[in-house]
Structure 1
Amino acid sequence: MLVQRLGAPSDFDPLLERVRNARVVMIGESTHGSYDYYRLREQLTRRLIAECGFSFVAVEGDWPDCDRVHRSVTGAPDGIPDPQVALEHFERWPTWMWANAEVSRFCRWLRAWNLERPEAERAGFHGLDVYSLWESMQAIFDYLGEEDPASLEVAQDAYRCFEPYGKRVEEYGAASRFVSARCEEEVVRLLARTREQALCDGPDSFSAWQNAEVVAGAERYYRAMVAGGPESWNIRDIHMQDTLDRLLDRYGPDARGVVWAHNTHVGDARATDMSADGMVNIGQLARERHGADAVALVGFGCYRGTAVAAPRWGSPAEAMVMPPAREGSIERRLHELLPERAVLVFGGEDQPGWVTETADHRAIGVVYDPTFESWGNYVPTRLGERYDAFIWCDETTALHPLPAHAMTGELETYPAGV
């Protein structure tokens, strides 16, 4: 195991050597609202794109919103010139995950970097998540109205099936427990039609296909969600991994992708108690599909600080205080052993016990109650198996949300809003 003090972007050199030949690098976060995680992740991602030739960034966000950002950062003819304006269009709660000053700074850098290069060499920005059923449906209508009016009837059939449930599609999930879920058949027809077009057309048809995949994934997700348990989580993470694989195929045989998501998605579930509960995640799936040597998983952690979160699902975000990590946790041990900021690169036979043994590892979602620290907010983890590397910040500060019109999003995600 290698430990490197972090102070400047060049201090990532040992980590870059470890991941530069990977096809996929997943970079996590133990909260969705810490400035330090976003800033360090940005610095590492810039180097992966500029020095190692990575093709795109894929984030734990909605496809339609992120496609607007993608068109901006790649300089598409219909793209918004300022990526920050594109980010300010994010409306689904929690908007602060991507509509923040830290992501804006990265996207402005990415646009400037891209515009100095030929269109085929520009790095993209994409969303992996499954929630945007209505937004994706509208995007399909917009595309078909321009490019394939003959297919509009198929999309309208799918829309009419969900329409009685309004924007509260979890009500569709509840209804599907008692009545025939005809929407599944309509969605499959829509998916087949847009997939056929995407295989022989350009980027707009690929985006329409992906929006149809979102509609299909959302239909399965909401039916599973009402039953509780791990199935809806697995549908979501499998959808995200399938989307990542489609992007790798779309960008070509030499494509390489960077993923930004919570540690709970990035860190291999088999090295946690998630596996015993029947849960998988994108870190595990990527290793299984592409091979461990082709995938690098990078986690984040801190001892204490502040983070943007909300006390309840859908309520306004605030800068919340994270108390010192509890006794026996990985974070408490790293606080005692490491400098204020450091990167750990795992590997080799001679690793300390705290790398290989199971210990509690902090995980904070968009909903956070600091009073749960004594019994919740932690995932039992074997750190050196869950990640290939780990970035340590002893104390963090809250990130800086952009002005946005937050709408209440979907119901709280299982297991804890991550």
Structure 2
Amino acid sequence: MAEMVTRWIEEHAHRLTTLDPEAPLTDLLPLLDIVRDAKVVAIGASTRQTHELSALSHRIVRLLVEERGFRSLALEGDNPSSIGLDEYIGTGAGDPRALLARARPFWRTEEILGVVRWMRSFNRRHPGDPVRFVDTAPTAQEHLAQLSLPDGLARIELGLAEDTIRWHENTADRIVYWGGLAHTVNGTPRTVSPPPRR
């Protein structure tokens, strides 16, 4: 069995050459064959606030925007418009670090700040074809309230999916959905432990 797994990895894996978000994206080009004509691509983080996963996710966002025309980014867990991030990437108004200070803790990282600044830079270079945030995420309080219900995770995921579909239907944008693995994995069964109540 171990030999089969090793052989599968050798046949399907592609080496990453860098995690630098500003580096050329040639090492990620094999992902484009997987994406094809998908309308929504989910990037699931197995753990939050890690430099390596966040830097790789930033590079994947860049690849999808620059090479496949994705124009909306959904950050799970916050509504970017409610804290002013969409205005910043659209117009440059505001301080992105101060805006992120009002976001959920797992988005208050240098890596997410780098993504926000990259989005602003992209929009300055492409004013007629900007990238934007999906403006439908529920608040943190709504998430926690639903998670405490018996079918809370299912309700959250249904709401996230419906919001993403609605955004696509209203904008025709291809969407990168960046969230936790619990909400992006395709598998049954799954066990997710809610945060402890205080």
Which TM-score bucket, shorter chain as reference? 0.7 to 0.9
Match of residue 34, structure 1, among 50, 58, 73: 50
How many corresponding residue pairs? 179
Higher relative contact order (CA 8 A, sep 6+): 2
Match of residue 98, structure 2, among 64, 85, 106: 85
Q: Name the aligned partner's letter for residue 415 of structure 1.
A: S
Map of 1:44 onto structure 2: 60
Structure 1's 66 and 54: CA in aligned 2 closer, same or farther, altered over 3 A? Answer: farther
Structure 1's 13 and 237: CA in aligned 2 closer, same or farther, altered over 3 A? Answer: same
Map of 2:127 onto structure 1: 118
Map of 1:131 onto structure 2: 139
C-alpha distance in structure 2 between counterparts of 1:104 and 1:113, whole Å: 14
C-alpha distance in structure 1 between counterparts of 2:168 and 2:83, whole Å: 16
Map of 1:332 onto structure 2: none
What does 1:95-106 correspond to in 2, within 5 Å? 95-106=104-115
C-alpha distance in structure 2 between counterparts of 1:273 and 1:59, whole Å: 25
Secondary structure class of the residue paired with 2:70: coil
C-alpha distance in structure 2 between counterparts of 1:261 and 1:66, whole Å: 18
C-alpha distance in structure 2 between counterparts of 1:37 and 1:12, whole Å: 14
Q: Name the aligned partner's letter for residue 164 of structure 2.
A: L
Would you say the 8 A contact 1:67–1:126 is kept in 2? Answer: no
How far does residue 109 in structure 1 lie from its aligned partner after superposition?
1.1
Map of 1:273 onto structure 2: 189
CA displacement 1:166-196 (0-9 Å, x = unmatched): xxxxxxxxxxxxxxxxxxxxxxxxxxxxxxx
How far does residue 26 in structure 1 lie from its aligned partner after superposition?
0.4
Would you say the 8 A contact 1:59–1:259 is kept in 2? Answer: yes
How far does residue 83 in structure 1 lie from its aligned partner after superposition?
2.4
Would you say the 8 A contact 1:84–1:104 is kept in 2? Answer: yes
Structure 1's 24 and 66: CA in aligned 2 closer, same or farther, altered over 3 A? Answer: farther
C-alpha distance in structure 1 between counterparts of 2:13 and 2:140, whole Å: 40
How far does residue 30 in structure 1 lie from its aligned partner after superposition?
0.7
Secondary structure class of the residue paired with 2:13: strand
TM-score (norm 2): 0.79
Name the Cα RMSD after superposition.
2.5
Structure 1's 43 and 66: CA in aligned 2 closer, same or farther, altered over 3 A? Answer: farther
C-alpha distance in structure 2 between counterparts of 1:96 and 1:40, whole Å: 19
Would you say the 8 A contact 1:26–1:266 is kept in 2? Answer: yes
Map of 1:249 onto structure 2: 169
Higher strand proportion: 1
Map of 2:117 onto structure 1: 108
Report % sequence identity: 24
CA displacement 1:291-320 (0-9 Å, x = unmatched): xxxxxxxxxxxxxxxxxxxxxxxxxxxxxx
Q: Which has the larger radius of gyration?
A: 1
Runs of 4+ more than 4 Å apart = 64-67
C-alpha distance in structure 1 between counterparts of 2:26 and 2:185, whole Å: 25
Map of 1:336 onto structure 2: none
C-alpha distance in structure 2 between counterparts of 1:249 and 1:31, whole Å: 30
C-alpha distance in structure 2 between counterparts of 1:106 and 1:260, whole Å: 12
Q: Structure 2 unaligned runs (5+)?
A: 1-10, 19-24
C-alpha distance in structure 1 between counterparts of 2:35 and 2:147, whole Å: 36
Q: Structure 1 unaligned runs (5+)?
A: 134-217, 275-378, 380-413
Secondary structure class of the residue paired with 2:45: coil
Secondary structure class of the residue paired with 2:167: helix
Map of 2:6 onto structure 1: none
1:54 partnered with 2:70: yes
C-alpha distance in structure 1 between counterparts of 2:62 and 2:44, whole Å: 15
C-alpha distance in structure 2 between counterparts of 1:70 and 1:17, whole Å: 30
TM-score (norm 1): 0.39
Match of residue 158, structure 2, among 226, 234, 238: 238
CA displacement 1:15-73 (0-9 Å, x = unmatched): 12221421111011110121100000001111111121101100112225666111111
C-alpha distance in structure 1 between counterparts of 2:80 and 2:130, whole Å: 19
CA displacement 1:274-296 (0-9 Å, x = unmatched): 3xxxxxxxxxxxxxxxxxxxxxx
CA displacement 1:124-151 (0-9 Å, x = unmatched): 1236543356xxxxxxxxxxxxxxxxxx
